[in-house]
Structure 1
Amino acid sequence: MNSVLSRGAGRPDPRRRAGGSAARRGGPGSRPSPTPEQVRALLTVALRPALLTVMVIATCVLVTLVGANSDLTGTSGAIAACWLAVHQVPLTIGGATLGVLPLLPTLVLIAAVARGCSRVVHASTPRHECWWVIGAAVAGPVVVTAIALAVAADASSVIALSPPNPLVAFAWVIAVHLVGAGIGVGLRLWRPTVTYLGVPDWVLAAARPAMRAAMALLATGAAITVVSLLASWSTVGTLVEAGRGAMGGLGLTVLSILYLPNVVVGATAVLVGSTTHVGTASVGLLDVVGGPVPALPVLGALPEQAGGDGWLVGLVIPAAIGVMFGRDCARQAASPLRAVETALVGAVAVAAVFALLGFVSGGALGTFGSAGVTVATFAAATLGWLAVCGSVSAALVRWRSHPEPEPRPEQAPTRPRADAAGAATLALPGADRAAAPPPEPDAAGPDPEPGPPEPETARPRTAVLDAELVDDETTAPPVADIEPESVVDAEVVDEETPAETAPDPDHVPEADLPDGTPTSSD
């Protein structure tokens, strides 16, 4: 694993010196066991996010109770309820069920869990150690949840809090921390994982364009939320003043900030063509229905009537984001078909993520009924915009970037360039070496010493090709009736064979004979 779990990798392990690790001493079929260094790292993964969350919750609860001049009788029950609320566990307070819980603390907790898991793994981490990390990331919060359920059941006699269903509570806690651990481990191990699973490259190419498209849609929803809050600032100020004092107004402001991601998801749903409802009030592109809503300042962003031509924004912006998404998919594909397949896969992924966000951001709202988005239309509208606009844009961009190759026209034979006299000279191989004539010996000077004769293959040859060009403007008769007018005369000039080597006057013939007296036969 990473430096956190492999801190003792460079130091000798006494168990290995004694005869191997625990797994090896137990036989080839025994399970591997973590070392003390790894146990400490796994405990950090299991307890750090949970303990930090409990500490932050306890601080906020104590400050709220002290600021409201309330007694600390139900402090433990409030802390347990807040722990469950951070994990999106529905709460029943005073007989009213609250299922619409703020998303911001949940997203922060998921990010903390993902960061803690990604710090202790890397690409070469064994598979069983990755499962250790995921199990530790889930086991610690499950223990804290069991304690919180017991505390909530005990505090139900003091405060108006009904203990939630244990199975539902454990399911939500496990799901939240599994998502965080999966993201953290997946950021480190996605390359070997997709290689092991054999995922095609064009499927992987859809990840980054899909993420960009999802972030663009959510950013547009956030911008619409900010503009709506600024447009209805007087209503927002009135709702803040309803807190009856500075501490009450501060509490409502903080609660509105925690619910801000829920409102952004609702604005995004309206943007793509779905509807958002809070009790009996609903908001869509073409119609707005009024009704009573909770006195939460962030809900002042809900419009009181339809925005006139504002529905055009819901047509232009999603279409533009779909075109951008298709262009990004085309850049990662090798053919128009692959570009369309990449766009479809990315559109399905974004629609699935948005359906999950729509489901988590809504729920029961006590006496008001329910609040949230219509999940089915939210996912279907997102899929439609990205799939249709994205696939068409991807196909067109890829087709225009790499059109089908056209057949190349046959090139006419190249004619030799004629000189002023009308003759063309073609240089044959070896002509450049024989262009200059061999130097003639100087009559006044001594004869140069002849060198060894060159081999027959190394002698350069000079070839001169004289050809007369036929006027192109003259219409030539059929070939069978005339004789060719162009005559090719070629002359091959060989270099002079070097003269035979002159005998050396100092050379003695007998020196070439073997030792001994020469005979007549010699």
Structure 2
Amino acid sequence: MSSRNALVRRTSGSRGTGETVAPSPPGHDPVWWSLSPERARTLLLVAARPTITALAATVLLVLVVMLTTGTDLTSAPAAVAATWLAAHQVPLTVGRTTLGLLPLVPTIVLVWLAARECARAVPHRPTPVELGWLAGAVLAGPLLMTAVCLAVTGDAAGVTPLESSGPFAAFGWVFVLYLFAAAAGIGGRAWGSLCALVPIEIPQWAVLGARAARRTVLRMLGCAALATVISFFAHLSRLDGAFRQAHNVTDVLGMSLLSLLYLPNVVIGAAGILSGAAVLFGAGSVGLFGVTGGHMPVLPALIPVPEGPASAWWAALLLIPLAVGVLGGIELGRTSDDRPGAPWATLTCAALSTLTLLMLAILGSGQLGAIGWVGVDLLMLVVLMVTWFGFGGFVGMVFARRFLAPTAPVEDYDEYDDEYEDDYDYEDDYYDEYDDEEEHDDEDDDPAEHTDAVEYDDPAVEVDGELVEDFDDDLEVSIAAPGSTDEPADDIVDAEVVESDLPDEDETPGR
């Protein structure tokens, strides 16, 4: 493969929808606001489709709940607007009750839909202008719908006791969530183009540390989910008490659905508890080293929360985050150039893992009415996560460097690599053919080759009046080039070239 093809493969890095933008002629570069009709249609779908899908699901859910509970449908627009804001983690005030602790399942689904739609619209070898248009399209639809919902809740404030936390918080949450969705969608398809926007060069140890951080966070959340399931079955006797406020089947189904929506919040709280930080429920708290009594919501999702007093063996659960950090350090020790004097990839992994879990803890926390603030102790979470992941990662890195054989860095390929591999092969063939044509043109433009080189269709040479097609191994024929001073070797047989069989001078190609 030529150097040009290698450069194309390195710089493109995109696995988009197959949309190819024809290059502009020299001197006619398109301005940033010019869009082809096909590209404009794609951006319109990116802006509208996730928003319309989410709005349709919201309207359907609100209508089902209101019809099953016998609520008057006159408040349906306000309920739809409030549900849209709540799905984007915008705090709401119903009467005198502030709801800041909102379920994460709707938020995760909406961000995933937007990221998926954005990933499908990434073109091959995108330019910064195209990435900017795409990110703007991802943000445009949700921001417009948020503005409509804020207006609806403001108009309905005189009829229903419903208020939002203000436009600044609403637009801020929506902007941050969908900016993350755009980054995830573009990064999944065009990671090279996204990194090219960074003004400084990203070192290799930072890339390896970021990949290890993603695996570390997933392992930590997986261990927290497993601990939640085990604790749920260990405290299954509380199930009857969790449904004591349910009066009919509709209430049971509603509480069960609400518990499923809050399940990611519970898993994030379990990850905080496993690290050693406490989960606060207003004045109460739950941790590995003690449980303080307080008022807790009555939901089936909170069945796994342990009750006091704390047992001595609970401290052994601190080995889980330590083991996760050690495993990440072992991977980095085998794939990176880390050494005890410069553990940059290990420190990057610990910092990014802690930052990710901190952001998840902020999303999974909030004000919950009269109970107060519910969520993980954020300061203790940061200190403990950095300690476990940093120390454990350093130990694992040293162990791997001393006792394990190094391996090549593991590349993270997404699910679209195989699908668009043929596109890259076609692209390489195109550039190979283009290179061959350039080389052929260069050969044709060389006057020396046209003057001295003569090609014959029939390479037969007549020796001593006889036409010889095949020469034996012991026979050599040497024809000196015009102007050559080299004398033929002594062991070469006498050969006579019949000039009459050669083409005339006027018929010689290139003359």
What TM-score do you get using the length of structure 1 for normalisation? Answer: 0.71
CA distance in 2, matches of 1:165, 1:142: 14
The match for 1:148 is 149
Please provide the CA RMSD for this pair.
2.5
CA deviation map 1:59-86 (0-9, x unaligned):
1111111111222121110110010001
The structure with more radius of gyration:
1
1:313-352 residue pairs with structure 2 within 5 A? 313-337=316-340, 340-352=343-355
Inter-partner Cα distance in structure 1 for 2:146 and 2:169 = 11
Shift of 1:43: 0.8
Task: Give the CA deviation at 1:164.
Answer: 3.0
Match of 2:376 in 1: 373
- Superposed, 1:277-356 pairs within 5 Å as 277-337=280-340, 340-356=343-359
- In structure 1, the residue matched to 2:91 is 90
The SS at the match of 1:162 is: strand
Identity of aligned residues (%): 35
Find the counterpart in structure 1 of residue 191 from structure 2.
190
The CA deviation string for residues 497-522 of structure 1, in whole angstroms up to 9 with x for no partner, is xxxxxxxxxxxxxxxxxxxxxxxxxx
**8 Å CA contact 1:355, 1:376 repeated in 2:** no
Q: Which residue of 1 aligns with 2:396?
A: 393
Is 1:220 aligned to residue 233 of structure 2? Answer: no
Q: Which amino acid aligns with 1:146?
A: A
Kept in 1: contact 2:127–2:193 (CA 8 A) = no
The aligned amino acid for 2:351 is: V
Deviation at 1:241, TM superposition (A): 4.3
The correspondence of residues 23-422 of structure 1 with structure 2, limited to 5 A, is 24=28, 30-122=31-123, 124-194=125-195, 197-337=200-340, 340-401=343-404
Q: 1:298-328: per-residue Cα shift (whole Å, max 9, x none)? A: 1222222134133233222122112111101
Q: Are the aligned partners of 2:91 and 2:164 in contact in 1 as well (CA < 8 Å)?
A: no
- Tell me how far 1:132 sits from its aligned partner: 0.5
1:132 partner amino acid: W
Name the amino acid aligned to 1:73.
T
Q: What is the TM-score when the length of structure 2 is the normalising length?
A: 0.72
What is the letter of the counterpart of residue 375 of structure 1? Answer: L
Q: Judge conservation of contact 2:46–2:138 (CA < 8 Å) in 1.
A: yes
Distance 1:44 1:30, change over 3 A: closer
Matches of 2:49 and 2:254 in 1, distance apart? 27
Q: Secondary structure at the match of 2:375?
A: strand
Structure 1 distance, partners of 2:272, 2:83, is: 28
- Structure having greater relative contact order (Cα 8 Å, sep ≥ 6): 2
2-side partners of 1:31 and 1:383: how far apart? 43
* Whole-Å separation in 1 of the counterparts to 2:16 and 2:308: 58
> SS of the residue aligned with 2:243?
helix
Does the CA-based 8 Å contact 2:90-2:164 persist in structure 1? no
Q: Paired residue for 1:490?
A: none
Distance 1:68 1:389, change over 3 A: same
Task: Give CA-to-partner distance per residue, 1:219-274, whole Å, 9 cap, x none.
Answer: 11111211222222232333224221111111111111011111111110010110
Which contiguous aligned blocks of 4+ residues in structure 1 show a shift greater than 6 angstroms?
none
Give the Cα separation in 2 of the matches to 1:163 and 1:389: 43
Contact kept in structure 2, 1:329 and 1:339, CA below 8 Å: no
User: Aligned partners of 2:273, 2:85: CA distance in 1, in Å?
Assistant: 29
Partner of 1:6: 19
Higher-helix-fraction structure: 2
Q: Contact (CA 8 Å) 2:16, 2:189: kept in 1 or not? A: no
Q: Is the 8 A contact 1:236 1:298 kept in 2?
A: no
Shift of 1:186: 1.3
Structure 2: which 5+ residue stretches go unaligned? 1-13, 407-511
One-letter identity of the residue aligned with 1:284: G
TM-superposed deviation, 1:399: 2.8
Q: Assess if the C-alpha contact under 8 Å between 2:15 and 2:124 holds in 1.
A: no
Between the two proteins, the alignment pairs up a number of residues equal to 392
Report the CA distance between 1:191 and its aligned residue.
2.5
Q: Distance in 1 between matches of 2:364 and 2:44?
A: 31
- Measured in 1, the distance between the counterparts of 2:112 and 2:155 equals 31
Q: Provide the C-alpha distance between the structure 2 equivalents of 1:155 and 1:210, rounded to a whole number of angstroms.
A: 45
- Give per-residue Cα distances to partners, 1:180-215, cap 9 Å, x unaligned: 111111122223444664211111111332222211
Alignment partners' CA distance in 2, 1:322 and 1:206: 12
**3-state SS in 2 of match to 1:34:** coil
Report how far residue 331 of structure 1 moved: 1.4
Check the 8 A contact 1:273/1:381 in 2, yes or no: yes
Matched residue type, 1:384: T
Is residue 117–residue 184 contact of structure 1 (8 Å, CA) maintained in 2?
Answer: yes
Gaps of 5+ in 1: 404-522
